[in-house]
Amino acid sequence: MRLHEYQAKGIFADAGIPTPDSRLATSVDEVVDAGAALGYPVAVKAQVHVGGRGKAGGIEIATDDDELREAADAILGMDLKGYHVDRVLVESAVDFVNELYLGVTMDRGEGEPVAMVSSEGGVDIESVAEETPEAIAREGVDPAFGMHPYQARKAVYEAGVPRDVSRAVASVLETLYDLWESKDASEAEINPLMVTDGGDVVAADAVLNVDDDALFRHPDLADMEEESYTDDLERKAGEYGFDYVRLSGNVGIIGNGAGLVMATLDLVDHYGGDPANFLDIGGGAKAERVTNALDMVFSDPNVDSVVFNIFGGITRGDEVARGINDALSQFDEIPKPVVVRLAGTNASEGMEILDTSLVQVEETLEDAVQRAVANAEEVQS
């Protein structure tokens, strides 16, 4: 479950991490009232689960009522990378002299949590990791003991954080790790952690993604689940019980098993396409579940083509094929071209069942992905 920025900041603030004063607003008048209460300048920030909001016009700074009303008018109701903006966070602008990055996630290669600090905050940390990996200090943490204070100080020192704020930054990193652990999070991040002229640190953004399977231990977080949905597709995925992440591309992807879906995403990218989503229908999928998956992907206006990648184990190929036929037969006209690749249990039976007047069938994953990418390119041309 991905929390919105305002939800994550509330949790961070309760734990003692400094955050700007803020108000949540869903209308232009509420935004203006929030600005008057907070005092200018203020930032208006779209609350959607996408990166690069500022470059896409989802974050604006306002210095008076007129600018604030104009910013609220522009952001509320806008389509931001495929997401409808129905709420914004209005918060006091931070006068900063430096921006840092702090994050905690799981290092699956090492089999342990890793805390990260970088002096290059305020930018896409994935780009920093790719272009200048030495700019990110990493500190592995033994989960049996948690993060020791010396480890936080070590990461901060290795990242080149100025000495006058290093103690404050290390304290925030310790708290961030404690939150990551106690909330059963998959990711906790502050980007940027702003440093003010007076030597204070403020979390100007906040990310907290929580393991869905651990929500039974966190009723307070479970109560946020419905509110955390950004759009109808995410809400629908929750109702269907799918693992779903919406992306910015136009090639829809459906598979069974996270590893298989991730491999399909990688191949779409490898062959020049742009994935539109991560959608795992899980094991033991029946026809109704497959129908629901296709309904979800077809409902995404960004999707131009679909690749369906199933490896039969618990999920039988013939059952999936019936689901695909049932789903597509409901349409007078297939809204998007669908490419299917089946392998494993009853794959050959499934291939025979598939209605080739409704779908395109490929024997290998590589061929299926290349065809789906070509279909998307043809739609765009």
The residues annotated as belonging to the active site are 101, 189
Q: Which two tokens stand for residue 266?
A: 């990688």
Do 120 and 128 contact (CB within 8 A), yes or no? Answer: yes
Confirm or deny that 191 is annotated as ligand binding. Answer: yes
Q: Which two tokens stand for residue 116?
A: 């990260």
What does the chain come to in residues?
381
Confirm or deny that 45 is annotated as ligand binding. Answer: yes
Cis peptide before 192 (omega within 30 of 0): yes
Q: Which helix (H) or strand (E) holds 185?
A: strand 185-196
Cis peptide before 149 (omega within 30 of 0): no
Confirm or deny that 273 is annotated as ligand binding. Answer: no
Nearest to 263 by CA among 302, 303, 310: 310
- Catalogue the E-assigned strands of the chain: 22-25, 42-46, 59-62, 79-80, 83-84, 88-92, 96-107, 112-118, 136-140, 185-196, 201-203, 207-210, 243-246, 251-255, 277-280, 305-312, 338-344, 360-361
Q: Which residues, 6 or more positions from 374, have their beta carbon under 8 angstroms from its beta carbon?
A: none
Nearest to 194 by CA among 209, 179, 172, 178: 172
Q: Which two tokens stand for residue 166?
A: 């290093």
Provide the terminal-to-terminal Cα distance of the chain, rounded to the nearest Å. 36
Do 137 and 118 contact (CB within 8 A), yes or no? Answer: yes
**CA–CA distance, 161 with 100 (Å, rounded to integer):** 8
DSSP, res 357: T
Q: Which two tokens stand for residue 235?
A: 């809400």
Confirm or deny that 302 is annotated as ligand binding. Answer: no
Confirm or deny that 236 is annotated as ligand binding. Answer: no
Confirm or deny that 30 is annotated as ligand binding. Answer: no
DSSP string, 64-106: SHHHHHHHHHHHTT-EETTEE---EEEEE---EEEEEEEEEEE
Q: Cα-flanking dihedrals φ and ψ of residue 346, to 5°?
A: 55, 30
Confirm or deny that 99 is annotated as ligand binding. Answer: yes
Q: Count CA within 13 A, CB hemisphere, residue 189.
A: 22
Do 356 and 257 contact (CB within 8 A), yes or no? Answer: no
Query: Residue holding tokens 């399977």?
Result: 213
- Binding site for ATP, by residue number, is 45, 52-54, 91, 94, 99
- Binding site, by residue number, is 45, 52-54, 91, 94, 99, 191, 205, 256, 313-315
